[in-house]
Chain A
């Protein structure tokens, strides 16, 4: 083809096409390993979790709606755990949202320099604090605070409210950071347009910025909820966790899907009904995370469709 000059007769090396196949093969194998492990996980959780209903003779309906989770009695009603998980998740999101959103508005709209350089790295430090350490603080500080505020009604201080407060602090950095990104992504022209109409900063933020960042803000909230829903040890340490019937109020000790899993799995014998029932809880957790991902995708594609 082209001139093959004698002095540039190439040294023997692996042909480029082959080298490219090696690269593709090596990196593809890494992705394949990850994908296979995830598929194996989903398969295994589903297989073990469904055994409860198909082999152990527990009805799915009674599992989901049963009001008592007492494995030693053979009573597998997951409703108290589901209620526990949802109430701590929703409450913690409720506590976090105004604080995260407020901080994000401050950082993006009022003091961007301080926000990017100081506030954000500090908040990200909160992500790094291990969940057992949060649990330890919650156990000492939050539970004590509950006792001194609500007196005898709070019992030991362990309960849904304590769990929600600890979770709120734990998901705060996630929601804040993502909200900051969401607000920062709003084009400046929107703000200038609003200012040009004589709107104040507050009116601009409220009517223009928040409105156009809404899909991303919702994603931020869902991400926070995902984390809250799956959080385990911190919640287990502060929520009480021994009560297995329906919690009567926010100050009642309760158990969640994750805490029941943690305390049950070490005692359950492999292959027993209890063991399978615990996997069924895992299956619910798995289904919820897939559900959260689905919502995030739906918000994403809806947002994209709106911008097109």
Chain B
């Protein structure tokens, strides 16, 4: 009897050890995979990326094509996307946290945002290619692309901002309302400043996601390298870099395009582009944490 129990105890003890071992192995594998992916991208692309001229030459350069236009377009597109998506998400999140009456309108709005978050980005791109490009008559342009990316970004941002606002202690809200202030004043003057570190972190992380998105852009902002003339002063010209009604090709779209049309040398450029993209996104991640921490520190230190 006792021996049976002992044997059983030994068995389940052994089971426990084996399970722990397997789990440790899995985690090790995941970390190794992550490291392998990052290292592989850099290994394949860093050499090309650091080649003189790669980041500064035009993609149309015959001798040594670079990605300068794509680099510019990626950041310029991101800028417009954030200009559209941050205010709308901020407003929507404030409505949902502070004002939302508990009725079917709010429920419908929440469902709409949830739907948007689970939609494949290609469907957003497809919608944009008809709605923004044709119906709104924005053509294949930075504007259409940024609007498609805005649709992609809004659900992510609304969720982050909502969370950040909800994390501000209730008592802060009550104290302000109890002094006869409106929800609007309470939100803009008390809650938003308190939630700012989390919001900034969220916005920068979402910027990283937007930066790498390509499927929503192929049919809205185009997949052909733009011809840009940085000396142009005609803001209506399709070669003027600042013109938001011109087509554009971001780095992410460029990588896809190069792989879809394989030809000599494209492979190396695609990897160089991928390395640059990866580094930008790593920087976004670092920036998000650093900015968030710095803001939080500034707020509590004074």
Contacts and interface: CB of A to CB of B under 8 A. Distances in A.
Contacts of B99: 23-24, 27-28
Contacts of B126: 45, 261, 265, 278-279, 282
A172 interface: yes
A137 B41 CA distance: 8
B27 A103 contact: yes
Contact of A128 (B98, B129, B208, B215): B208
A107 B123 contact: no
Contacts of B23: 102-103, 105-106, 110
Interface stretch (B51-59, B89-97, B237-245): B89-97
A129 B278 contact: yes
A181 B188 CA distance: 31
A48 interface: yes
Interface string B1-25: 0000000000011011001101110
B184 A20 contact: yes
A289 B94 CA distance: 26
Contacts of A98: 26
A34 B112 contact: yes
A266 interface: yes
B26 A102 contact: yes
B30 interface: yes
Interface residues of A, number: 81
A130 B207 CA distance: 12
B4 to A, nearest CB: 15
A289 to B, nearest CB: 4
Q: Main secondary structure on chain B at its contact with chain A?
A: helix
B92 A262 contact: no
B278 A133 contact: yes
Given A131-B214, A132-B255, A293 B118 contact: yes
B127 A44 contact: yes
Contact of B123 (A29, A45, A125, A136): A45
B274 interface: yes
A41 interface: yes
Contact of A16 (B40, B120, B182, B270): B182
B138 interface: no
Interface residues of B, number: 89
A106 B215 contact: no
B27 A34 contact: no
Interface string B164-202: 000000000000000011111101100000000000000
Contact of B255 (A23, A44, A110, A136): A136
Interface in A53-103: 98-99, 102-103
Given A99-B30, A130-B277, A237-B259, A258 B214 contact: no
Interface in A94-123: 98-99, 102-103, 105-107, 110, 119, 122-123
Given A28-B95, A282-B126, A293-B115, A132 B27 contact: no
Contacts of A176: 30
Interface stretch (A183-191, A212-220, A223-231, A246-254): A223-231
Contacts of B98: 27
Given A133-B41, A203-B12, A102 B182 contact: no
Contacts of B219: 265-266
Interface of B: 12-13, 15-16, 19-20, 22-24, 26-27, 29-31, 33-34, 37-38, 40-41, 44, 87-92, 94-96, 98-99, 108-109, 111-116, 118-124, 126-127, 129-131, 134, 151, 154, 158, 180-185, 187-188, 205, 208-209, 211-215, 218-219, 223, 252-253, 255-256, 259, 270-271, 274, 277-278, 281-282, 284-285
Q: Which 9 A-B pairs have the closest CB atoms?
A: A130-B212, A230-B120, A23-B184, A30-B91, A27-B95, A102-B26, A38-B112, A200-B16, A202-B19
